[in-house]
Amino acid sequence: MNELLLSKRLACVAAQVKPGDRVADIGSDHAYLPVYLIKTKQINFAVAGEVIKGPFETAQRQVQKSQLQEQIMVRLADGLAAIKESDAIDTIVIAGMGGQLIASILENGWQNKQLKKTQRLVLQPNLDENEVRLWLSGHGFGITHEEIIEEKNKIYEVIVASPMQEAAYSEKELFFGPFLMTEKNPVFQKKWMHASHQKQNVLKRLQLAKNPRLEKIKELQKQLLWIKEVLQ
């Protein structure tokens, strides 16, 4: 992968950015995404935010090498603090992290009123996708699109959201993804077949334990039933 040839995962994220958007890529350790979007003329302006100094310097070097310092602002900052009001950002991308971390970055941004003007969130959690959906549904964001892809034996989901007045989801939709569970593509089926096997093994172990954790057992049984229903 490099700034002109993205991984399948990052290409899937890039495809969700609307042409001409002003983009903030939060957690931009190598700035590949903003450099790619500008080099391919999809956008003209981006912020690359990174909280750790080493990756921040890598992003800076990449932007300098690509001679895009006028169009990509690389900033050392925690989460959405990388964004200034004058950047007039429409789309925030947060990719390649756990769902809990993505939700906490969004929550901090929400508390600091940094999400007020956001038109679009493009989120790619590596796990705990339901945490991201839960945060979105609790903060007036509706899911407008979802993708699920496989790359090098790993499965990734991309969740796109926008502010929406009526955005209510069932527990099941938050768990599977409202669009993904309707589409049920082969990657989705593979993910949940695998998850079902894993959960069945955990359930067996829990049921054999001396002091079975009844709450956990009930939760797993519910999830296994959902998976069975969805994969039917």
The nearer residue to ligand SAM, 120 or 230, going by C-beta atoms, is 120
List strand residue ranges (DSSP E) for the chain, in order: 22-26, 45-50, 72-76, 91-97, 120-125, 141-151, 154-163
Which region, judged by CB under 6 A, interacts with ligand SAM, from 27-35, 164-172, 186-194, 213-221?
Answer: 27-35
The nearer residue to ligand SAM, 10 or 155, going by C-beta atoms, is 10
Instruction: List the x/- string, 32-51, binding to ligand SAM by CB under 6 A.
Output: -----------------xxx
| 134 contributes a contact to ligand SAM by CB under 6 A | no
Q: How far is the CB of 104 from ligand SAM (least distance, A)?
A: 8
The nearer residue to ligand SAM, 97 or 132, going by C-beta atoms, is 97
b/e code 109-132 from CB counts within 10 Å (16+ = b) = bbeeebbeebebbbbbbbebbbbb
Residues 3-22 that bind ligand SAM (CB under 6 A): 10
Residues 90-129 that bind ligand SAM (CB under 6 A): 95-97, 101, 105
Residue found by looking up tokens 């950002």 in the block: 89
- For residue 23, give both structure tokens: 């983009």
Q: Which of 18, 22, 42, 55 binds ligand SAM (CB under 6 A)?
A: 55
> Residue 134: which residues within 8 A CB-CB, separation 6 or more?
103, 174
Q: In what order do the strands lie in the sheet with 45-50?
A: 72-76, 45-50, 22-26, 91-97, 120-125, 154-163, 141-151
> For residue 5, what is the DSSP state?
S
- For residue 144, give both structure tokens: 């407008």
| 78 contributes a contact to ligand SAM by CB under 6 A | yes
> Length of the chain in residues, anyone?
232
List strand residue ranges (DSSP E) for 99-202, in order: 120-125, 141-151, 154-163
Q: Which of 29, 90, 147, 173 binds ligand SAM (CB under 6 A)?
A: 29
The nearer residue to ligand SAM, 80 or 230, going by C-beta atoms, is 80
# of chain residues touching ligand SAM (CB under 6 A): 17
**Contact footprint for ligand SAM (CB under 6 A):** 10, 26-29, 49-52, 55, 78-79, 95-97, 101, 105
